[in-house]
Amino acid sequence: MRKHEVLLMGRIRDMMKAETDRLFHTYTVHALHRSEDPDALVEKVKDRITAITTNGVLGASGEFMARFPNLKAVICFGAGIDNVDLEYAKQQCIQVSNTRGVLNDDVANLAVALLLGISREVVEADKYVRRGDWIRKGKMGLQKSIRGRQVGILGLGGIGRDFAKKLEVFGCQLAYHNRCENKNIPYRYYSNLTEMARDSEYLVVICPATSETRNLVDSEVIDALGPDGTLINIARGSIVDEEALVEALQDGRLGAFASDVFAHEPHVPEALLEMQNVILAPHIGSATVDTRTAMGELMLKNLERFFAGEPLETPVRL
């Protein structure tokens, strides 16, 4: 039987080998990154392509999708689909899927790790021992407990809810800001983000990156969080105004910052590298063998269902 043809936007580095092999084994994959002349490749296969596979970074622009007159699906590896032109997909009735759900647990765990790590100064403590400061200077200074402190969650979707559930056992006061209140959720709702930041000691960013959330955490929100406040970002760098953030940390207007994501990855503002009240991670939220395997399997499942003419497993609502 002839294999279905799939266009692969580029190397999906985060996909595990077993699922990558299965993708290439099951389909005739036209991989742009393996072609010496990607443009010529697109011209050659454009009429036959009904499905594109991609990830959050590579995405799929409207202009690119428009080159495939029979395109019906964009199948993504990853939950974030900020670089896929969803407006164009909607207009053209192109289905889009992502791999949400299977990564919630590990991403939420990393958010907990950053919260505990920054409040208990775990990275600094490690450096303290390695530098010989324990011997030279004696005991390190005291840190902060998170018990009883308000943690404001920006974006109470799947990952946000998992994160909040995990935090319940630490005895934190939980609050959230979404576009709408969810009456079934027991945490305090704020319709105004700045107000939530003012009342919270920790502000944790877990919302999707869209044109509406771009620089949502701006200097006003950062100032409301204040010198005793900590900002944690596990979502996307674009949601935080990075320049305003660096300035606030430099001026002591923000207490601390822990993040897995940045505006211009893999580049991180120089100034942050020297700061002690900062923890930096290289976008590893979903980076466990288990989760990356599950994401690959889910991506393949979506492809399989698309070619079988069945509803996608995890369609994105357009």
To the nearest whole angstrom, how small is the minimum distance from the Cβ of residue 256 to ligand 8YV?
23
Question: Of these residues, 4, 30, 100, 283, which one is catalytic?
Answer: 283
In the complex with ligand 8YV, the residue whose CB is nearer, 227 or 282, is: 282
283 carries an active-site annotation: yes
In the complex with ligand 8YV, the residue whose CB is nearer, 78 or 255, is: 78
Residue, CB closest to ligand 8YV: 80
Residues 6+ positions from 101 with CB-CB distance below 8 Å: 79, 158, 298, 314
Residues 9, 52 contacting (CB under 8 angstroms): yes
Handedness of CA 172, 173, 176, 182 (dihedral sign): positive
In the complex with ligand 8YV, the residue whose CB is nearer, 80 or 117, is: 80
253 carries an active-site annotation: no
Residues 6+ positions from 124 with CB-CB distance below 8 Å: 140, 276
To the nearest whole angstrom, how small is the minimum distance from the Cβ of residue 194 to ligand 8YV?
26
Question: Of these residues, 236, 242, 292, 313, which one is catalytic?
Answer: 236
Question: Of these residues, 220, 243, 265, 310, which one is catalytic?
Answer: 265
Residues 20, 55 contacting (CB under 8 angstroms): no
In the complex with ligand 8YV, the residue whose CB is nearer, 80 or 155, is: 80
236 carries an active-site annotation: yes
Q: Which residues bind ligand 8YV (CB under 6 A)?
A: 14, 55-56, 77-80, 103, 285-286
How long, in residues, is the chain?
318
Residue among 248, 216, 247, 250 nearest 233 (CA): 216
Active site residues: 236, 265, 283
